[in-house]
Structure formats: structure tokens, C-alpha cells
Amino acid sequence: MAQDMNLLQLTVEQRAQAMAVFGECADLREFGCRMLEAVMNAVMDADAQDACGAARGERSEARENSRNGYRPRTLRTAAGDLELAIPKLRRGTYYPEGILGRYTRVEASVVALVREMYVAGVSTRKVERVAEGLGVSSLSSSEVSRLCSELDESAAAFRSRPIEGDSPYVWLDATYMKCQVDGRYVSQALVTAIGLDADGRKRFLGAECVDAESRESWRGFLEGLRARGLSGVRLVVSDAHAGLVAAVREVFCGCSWQRCVTHLQRDLQGRVRTRAGKAACAELVRLATTQADAALARAVWDEAQPYVAALSRAAGEAFGEAREDALAYMAFPREHWPKIRTNNQQERANREIKRRYRSVQSFPSRASMMRLTCAVLMGEEGRWQAQRLLSPSSLAKAAPSAAEPPSDERLEAARLYAAEAVREVVDRRGLRK
């Protein structure tokens, strides 16, 4: 850059030109854009002159290069849109990195803001008005749609991409959000699936918007996953929604189903009135599901059931019926247990979706709901790829094993241990059978 230029010292002619430009402008913002545009173009011309070693048209032995016209560029800044003329050289390339570097970040921020609003379901006209408030006057509704069309295309490709390789563990869940359907704002179920690939990394498998969590809706969703290539499923983790469980057993015949332990705790707590009773239910479930083997877990479960039933008959029945489904994970390798006995993988993704949803409250269409979901999950999956949930060597053993029935001595030892462990909890909680 020419170091001898003092941009604050204007000649009489330059001041006259500035006043003429001011008279043409509607407000100070426009005047500022015009002046910034003129200054940046002048600085780039001076840079190009220094690179050539001579002024335009000057014959000089010191000349090292020559000019070759200009390359127009529109630069979006917080002050407004600038029409720049970047000099071109006959040998080599000139790019004013020092001048444009800081402004390209502004341009990227504007585009990111536009896409974020679009993801949230904001109309293109509203986005246009917001952009105008930032000084980006040339951002029309059609341009907003064009900027975000890539996002829609990416989301569609993300949802329909082939599922390659086996996914031994799959987590399923649904979360509810409001969107406009047939002119009315109604609650819609967003069903999603997350799988663990053979490399031990989580991946997004699919998402769909349905009216309700019916057996038919879940079956259609799961069959779609299979049609895209989902295979090798050994265990599905979810809550105990009847339609979901029925669909899993129909579509993934022979696959194990794990009832999410966290959802079970919440279900039991909802059947108990007192705060102390709710805490006791959660602790007894946790005690049973953190044992070292299935014999101990079942013994603790059986010992705890009368105490849960004393808190609530409905809770006692639900607790007893849930035993085998809540302990299904114990047929798989022990190092996998903390990851597969709950649906926490889905819960984390749902929290990210709901965090975005809270700022929107409702969506103008199902399409905007899916746009948000896919944008969030694409971002989450990018972070998932940075770490493995399980090692590939460990995951290669992800298959249920048929353990030998415990001996009578082992069962008796498990019963005695369970009686002592449960008694410690019930005495501390003040429970009775």
C-alpha cells in the first residue's frame, strides 16, 4: 500500500466532489457507503500502482508489471453494499487481503444470520427487512431464498442419504412442537433416529414429522430406514410408547429392545404422589440397574418391588412388568452398558432442537420444522465425528450373549445381597411394604 497517502487531506476539487456526492445521497448511511467505496477503490489503485512500479500509461524502466483492467465485486458490510473495482495485473494476481479481510467476516456474518433466520422459519420478507436494518439494502426476498436453497438441499440430502454399514445400536425418540397445518397451529411429533456405526461414532439416521406416535407412523419411519440401508441392528433403545415398541418388534424382528431406564424412573415417579416416594422410586431403579451382573440386578428388582407397590399400586405393577425390558442391556458387553441402558443420546439432541424451538415458538409449516431439525442434527453430527462413543474393537462384540443360568448358590448369594442393599435404601427413605 502506498505509505505516503494521507486520506484525511482533501484537495479543493476532492472536497467539491464529496459535497456533490453528499447532495446525491438520501442519508448519511448512503453517503458513508459512497465515501468508503471511493476510498477503498483509491487505496487499491495505489497498491496496484506500487506493484507495477509505474503509474497507469507511464513508460518507465522501473516498471515491473502492467494493469489489465478491473474485477468488479460487491462487498456487503454493516454499513451497506460497496461496489468495488479490484485491479487486475497481467502477471500474477492482486488481492487486497489487508483491505477486504475484515469485511469478509461481516459478509459471512450476514449470510449466517440470514440462514439462521430462515432455519427458524422466518419469512423471506421479514429477513429482507432485518437485512435492510443492517445496511444490506440489496438483499431481496429472492436472494434470501437463493442463499438458503443450499440449506434446504443439504437437509434433504441429509435425510435421504444411504445408510452404509451396520448400526448395532439404535436410539429412537420423539419430541413435540407446534407448526401450522391446514391453517391451524397444532402439535406435531418429530421422530428421530440415531445409530452407532461400526467405527464407534454416532450418526443421524433419519427424521420425520408425523401427526402422532402411532404404530403405523413408527412402522413407516422404520421401514424407510431399512429401505435406505439400515442393517445389523442388535439393540433398539427407546421409551415404552406402545406404538413405537410394536413397530420395532415388527420391523426389526429378532432384535432386542431396551426400555430407557431414565424414562422408566420418570414413569414411576408420575405414579407416586409424595416427593419422598418419587425419590425412592428413582433410587431403587438406579440400584437395580447399576449392578455388576444380571443375577444381582434381578434379585434387587424383585426385593424392591413390594416397597414400590406400597407407594403406589400402579407404580408397583409398572415396576414389575418393566424388569426384563429395563435389564435387556445386560445381555451385551459390560463396557457398553452405560451407553445403552438409557436414551440419553437422543435426549441431548432433543435439547438442542428444543433450544432453537423456544426462540421460534411455532413454525409456519412442516417444512420449516424439518429445516430446523436437520440443521441442528447436521451440526450435532459434525461434533459427534470428533470422538468415538465406543472403540471399533469393543463394538465388534456388540451381540447378545446367552449366559448360563446361575447356580442355586449364586441365586441365594444374590438374594442375600439384594435384601441388604434394598433394606439400606428403604430404612434411609422410611419406606414400608
In this structure, what is the dihedral angle of CA atoms 211, 217, 222, 226, given to the nearest 10 degrees?
Answer: -110
DSSP sequence for 243-286 = HHHHHHHHHSTT-EEEE-HHHHHHHHHHT--SHHHHHHHHHHHH
Residue 317: predicted pLDDT: 96
Sequential pLDDT tens for the chain (433 residues): 444 444 445 556 656 666 676 667 766 666 767 777 787 788 788 888 888 887 777 777 777 788 888 888 777 665 567 788 888 887 776 767 666 654 554 455 555 556 566 555 555 566 666 666 555 555 555 656 666 666 777 788 888 999 999 999 999 999 998 888 888 888 889 999 999 998 999 999 999 998 888 999 999 999 999 999 999 999 999 999 999 999 999 999 989 999 999 999 999 999 999 999 999 999 999 999 999 999 999 999 999 999 999 999 999 999 999 999 999 999 999 999 999 999 999 998 888 888 877 766 777 788 878 887 887 888 788 888 888 999 999 998 888 887 788 899 999 999 999 999 999 999 998 887 7
Rounded to whole angstroms, the Cα distance separating 51 from 91 reads 10
pLDDT for 106: 47
The residues, any chain, with a CB within 8 Å of residue 116's CB and separated by 6 or more, are none
Rounded Cα gap, residues 391 and 201, in angstroms: 9
For residues 3 and 145, give the distance between their C-alpha atoms in angstroms, rounded to a whole number.
43
> What nine digits make up the cell of 165?
454399514
Q: Where does residue 57 fall: left (phi above 0), alpha (psi -120 to 50 degrees), or beta otherwise?
A: left
Q: What are the grid coordinates assigned to 103, written together?
A: 469485511
What count of other Cβ atoms lies within 10 Å of the Cβ of residue 272? 19
Cell numbers 442463499 correspond to 147
Q: How many CB atoms are located within 10 Å of the residue 260 CB? A: 25
Q: What are phi and psi of 226, to 5 degrees?
A: -65, -40
Domains of the chain: which residue ranges? 1-95, 167-429
